[in-house]
Structures are given as structure tokens and as C-alpha cells.
Amino acid sequence: MRLTVTTFITLDGVYQAPGGPGEDEEGGFQHGGWSFPYADADFGAAMVGWFSHADAFLLGRKTYDIFASHWPKVTDSSDPIASRLNALPKYVVSRGQPLLDWENSRLVTGDVPAEIARLKREPGDELQVHGSGNLVHTLIRHGLADEYRLLVYPVLLGTGKRLFPDGDIGAALRLVDSKPTGTGVQIMVYEPAGPLQYGSFA
């Protein structure tokens, strides 16, 4: 399976608590729900299109808890997102021992990067990561992501957790798709393109 990362980020790179107040207040973050005013039909179509390719999900603990508190309650079998989230395997990366009572949820244990690499070798279309910023940092450091789907919002927060923090390994990316939504969110899809290249205009 290809491992794809889908993340909502602000123009200054913050991914923390896009969905609602109280979602993640770590560090005193008070801007939860910053993505909500920009949801529209273009956004919905992009998400439905991506979810249609999922054969399994890889989630960090916080994102899993947020999803598990909502999506099992959406029981409409025709819902293109809920139906896949509720039925497909969900692999959860956590340092603790969480109670994973959402159907088809399993804890990733042992050597996490090696286990994720093993999951990628399983048959299927996509192993999808949604949100899960701390997990994404691990994927970046170990070169495990095959595609980044970044929804960049026209918002500056000035504070919060950044998707690409200082100290992560540098890398080149190749833009494979780009389109705006009607509310000004820029949807950009990138693939890894090897190590950074350098030069000079001199």
C-alpha cells in the first residue's frame, strides 16, 4: 500500500486543533476550530475522493480518539467517509496502552517504523494517515510517506504545533497536483523527490 498523509495546516504551518475548540489545547492553544469556516463543496469532494482509495488507516492516538468519538455514531452506510472509517482496519500508534474499542482497531507495537514499513508491504491501494502530527514527524524522519496531501488554509495563527518543525530532516518534494477551493484553501499534493539540491545564482 502507498502511505498517504492528509493534513490541514495554516499558512504558517500549524496543524493543531483544526476541527473545533477543545480539540487540542496543549501549550495553551486557544485557536481550535480554525479550519471550520472554510469548509465547502470543493473541500468535501476532495476528501471523499481520497477516502475512496483507502484500504486501511494509520492514526496517532489523539486523532484516533477524536475520530472514535464521532465516526462510529455516523451509521449511514452510504456515507462515503464514515462507511470506510468504521469498516476498514485502523492501526494506532501510541506510547500507552489505549482501549481501542472502535471496530477493527489495532495497536502498533514494537519497532514502530519497521511495523509501518511492514504494513506498507500489505496488498491494497492506500494506507492513509489523517491529522496525527506527531506520527507524521516520525514518518518524515524515516522516509515512510509516499504522498503528502496538504490543505493550506488562508490563516495565520502565530502559535501552535507545526507540521514541519525545526530539526526534521530536509528533503525535496515534487508537486503533482494543486487546486484551490471556493473559500481559498489551497489543496496541494506532493511526492518525495529525493534529497535537497543546492546551487548558486552567482
CA–CA gap between residue 193 and residue 188 (Å, rounded) = 15
Mean pLDDT in runs of 10 for the chain (202 residues)? 98 95 93 97 97 97 94 94 97 91 95 97 97 93 96 97 82 96 98 93 92
Cα of 175 vs its chain's centroid, Å: 17
pLDDT for the residue numbered 85 = 97
pLDDT of residue 115: 97
Q: Is 60 exposed, middle or buried (0-12, 13-18, 19+ CB in 10 A)?
A: buried
CA distance readout (Å), 116 to 40, 44, 93, 105: 33, 28, 10, 15
- C-beta of residue 159 within 8 angstroms of C-beta of residue 35: no
Residue 36's pLDDT is: 96
User: Residue 168's pLDDT is what?
Assistant: 67
Q: Which pLDDT value is given to residue 184?
A: 98
What are the φ/ψ torsions at residue 140 (nearest 5 degrees)? -65, -50
- CATH H superfamily, domain 2-192: Dihydrofolate Reductase, subunit A (3.40.430.10)
Residue 67: its pLDDT value, please? Answer: 95
Q: Where are the domains of the chain?
A: 2-192
- Give me the pLDDT at residue 94, please: 93
Distance CA 148, CA 126 (A): 12
How far does CA 99 lie from the centroid of its chain? 22
